[in-house]
Amino acid sequence: MFPSQRFTITTYLSPEDVQKKLVAVVEPPPQGIQFQWKRSDKLYRGKIGEHSFKIAKIIYHRNSFLPQIEGRIKAHGRGSQIEIEMKLHIAAIIFMCVWLSTIGQVALLSLFALFQDDFEPAFLIPLGMVIFGIALPWVGFLPQAKASKDFLIELFQGTEEHSL
């Protein structure tokens, strides 16, 4: 129901070189409360481990459906494989589940009104809200996920091996 993507990038870069490429474009998460007065020179923010990373693109507008990117770096022949999963933030998933279940119940009651003599077109509004609520995460997620995927493939000078 909620958007996510999995894919693997194969590159000739060693795991250490992959990590160096990530460090060049990822800034660490802020410590404590910080106000951002200037724009970062890095494109992503997150944590980079020895063989894994958790990052998200830095944007200067609101998008609750921004992909959260998790990756695992593995040695592969003379290069590396980077297994990547992009998914929604857990808070966005919880909010959408609560919102959709609430408005879904109202939409269901509105559908029962279709079979009544006193049906009003306004009864279809909750159904429209459910459709909008299902589409909204996809609209916010997919363009950012594609941009991040393309960026990471180019960054690692790799090829996409497979998508799930």
The model's pLDDT over 35-85, given as tens digits with 9 standing for 90+, comes to 666 778 899 999 999 899 999 999 888 889 999 999 999 999 999 999 999
Confidence of residue 34 (pLDDT cuts 50, 70, 90): low
Strands (DSSP E) contained in 17-108 are 26-27, 44-48, 52-57, 68-76, 79-87
Distance CA 30, CA 17 (A): 25
User: What token pair was written down for 109?
Assistant: 């009651």
How many CB atoms sit inside 10 A of residue 91's CB? 9
- Against a cut of 0.95, is the pTM above it? no
Both tokens of 17, joined, read 């070189």
User: Out of 26-30, 67-71, 160-164, which region has the weakest mean confidence (pLDDT)?
Assistant: 160-164
Those residues whose C-beta lies under 8 Å from the C-beta of residue 123, and which sit 6 or more positions away, are: 110, 113, 114
- 110-145 confidence digits (pLDDT tens): 888 777 777 788 888 999 999 999 999 999 999 999
Domain 4-88+142-163 sits in CATH 3.40.50: no
